[in-house]
Structure 1
Amino acid sequence: MSTKALSRFMQLLDGSFPSGIFVHSFGLESHVVLGKVTRIDELEIYLHNIIIDQYQKFEFSFIERIFKHLYENNLNALLREDNNYSAMLNFEYAKASHTIGHNYFKHINKDIEKTIVKEYYSALLKKEGMGNELAVLSAYAYEIGLDKELLMMLWCKKSLITLSACTLKISRIKPSEIQQMLFQFDDKIENIINKSHQHVENFNPLFEEVVYQHLHLEPKLFMT
């Protein structure tokens, strides 16, 4: 894999850059308010459950399917997968994914060489596809030679870092504890990626149970 591919994705996934990022909290605020996440070990369990119940079954599976259609040069299946992904999200989540995807698209839609990526990006310009964040990034990863497993790792770690940074604002967990805990996730994420589900599912018990326990709090989208 080229160094340039890794360098570009480090830049794209850096939330401090104006292209923006977003992460759905899946009830983090409710967990903190209800006293379920007050210590570093509880935050670790919370993040691990998000990876298992959300990313492994949904986002990782979606990336797998997008890469499959890219390898097969199947534009229709690629667009259908992109649109189905939006249909499985709640409105605010889908809107954010679409917005950030198009922000990425503005930066990366230059000097594209692979035919299927050109066709997909052309379809986005014609508004024939939703252009979700992970679909746009997966196509670009395929274009520049970044393998899907590393894309999943980088995207997931970005999400965990963003969530953990927001935890600093709403809990008393120390930054140094969070840094050490995040280091320990690398091997866990790699093992979970290797066990990604074949079919995309969007039921997250972590989200459903806690949100309904606290009717005055809703999960937020952390955005920059």
Structure 2
Amino acid sequence: MNNTKALSRFIQILDGVFPSGAFVHSFGLEPHIVLDVVNDKDSLKQFLENIIVDQYQNLEFVVVKKVFKLLEEKKLKFILKEDMKYASMLSFEYAKASKDLGENYLKHIGFDIKKKIIQNYFDEVKSKNSVGNELFILSSYAYELDLDIDTFLLLWCKKSLINIASASLKISRIKPSEIQQILFEFDEIIEESIKNSSKKMSNFNPLFEEVIFSHLNLEPKMFVT
């Protein structure tokens, strides 16, 4: 499949309006806005950039690169092991949403699969022998469509940032046009961050930990559609 068709399919399945759904963890954006830490274009941009640096570079980007490598090596058992390991590193709500959405994505894309390693992995998820985290399902489908890692991660990360940033619209005075400008500015930042992602997985996010520690009554929310 050529790159144009692969991009077209990912634009479709990553659209949160479509019934395949979408979820994103806010990582504490609400309390930051309520406490006036995030209150304008610059502070929102810094918040989102911290998510990339402290969260995605150390976990999600690392996981996707590992999945692609294991798929290339056709190591199904290791993929199943990493699928479980990733789920164990997430909070309960995050892990449940990731599993539920992964299974939902599979219902929409798990047909006419050509590559045996992808079909075998999808069969294990359908048989409940693997967790089927959202990121594993999407990474596998990207590999099936011959979409390169950097392009897939750029699409996934941008989608996540859009969903998080949109949460600020109803509870802040930041203008939609300003939020759009911020998101446009992230294209090069994301590209560079993907290249400089960590070699080992870590689930320690100082931004998230600070929110939980300081604002016990203002919990970060999970957005699900």
Name the residue aligned to 1:124: 125
Name the residue aligned to 1:35: 36
Name the residue aligned to 1:138: 139
Name the residue aligned to 2:96: 95
Deviation string 1:53-96 (CA, Å, 9 cap, x unpaired) is: 00010000000111110000000000000010000011000000
Deviation string 1:164-200 (CA, Å, 9 cap, x unpaired) is: 1111011110000010111000000000000111111
Unpaired runs of 5+ in structure 2? none
Name the residue aligned to 1:190: 191
Name the residue aligned to 1:12: 13
Name the residue aligned to 1:108: 109
Aligned residues of 1:56 and 1:196 also touching (Cα < 8 A):
yes
Give the letter for the 2:137 counterpart: V
How far apart are the structure 1 equivalents of 2:170 and 2:223? 12
How far apart are the structure 2 equivalents of 1:89 and 1:165? 23
Verify: 1:206 aligned to 2:207, yes or no. Answer: yes
Deviation string 1:29-53 (CA, Å, 9 cap, x unpaired) is: 1111111101110000000000000
Verify: 1:63 aligned to 2:89, yes or no. Answer: no
Deviation string 1:186-224 (CA, Å, 9 cap, x unpaired) is: 000000000111111000000001222111111101111
Deviation string 1:89-124 (CA, Å, 9 cap, x unpaired) is: 110000000011011000111110101101100111
Unpaired runs of 5+ in structure 1? none
Stretches of 4+ aligned residues off by more than 4 angstroms:
none
SS at match of 2:59: helix
CA RMSD of aligned residues (A): 0.7
Aligned length in residues: 224
With the length of structure 1 as denominator, give the TM-score of the two structures. 0.98
Name the residue aligned to 2:74: 73
Aligned residues of 1:30 and 1:211 also touching (Cα < 8 A):
no
Give the letter for the 2:151 counterpart: L
Moved more, 56-65 or 206-215: 206-215
How far apart are the structure 1 equivalents of 2:78 and 2:50? 30
How far apart are the structure 2 equivalents of 1:165 and 1:133? 21
How far apart are the structure 1 equivalents of 2:38 and 2:137? 33
How far apart are the structure 2 equivalents of 1:155 and 1:148? 10
Name the residue aligned to 2:164: 163
Aligned residues of 1:56 and 1:192 also touching (Cα < 8 A):
yes
SS at match of 2:24: strand
Name the residue aligned to 1:220: 221
Of all paired residues, the percent bearing the same amino acid is 57
Verify: 1:148 aligned to 2:146, yes or no. Answer: no
How far apart are the structure 1 equivalents of 2:81 and 2:15? 29
SS at match of 2:218: coil
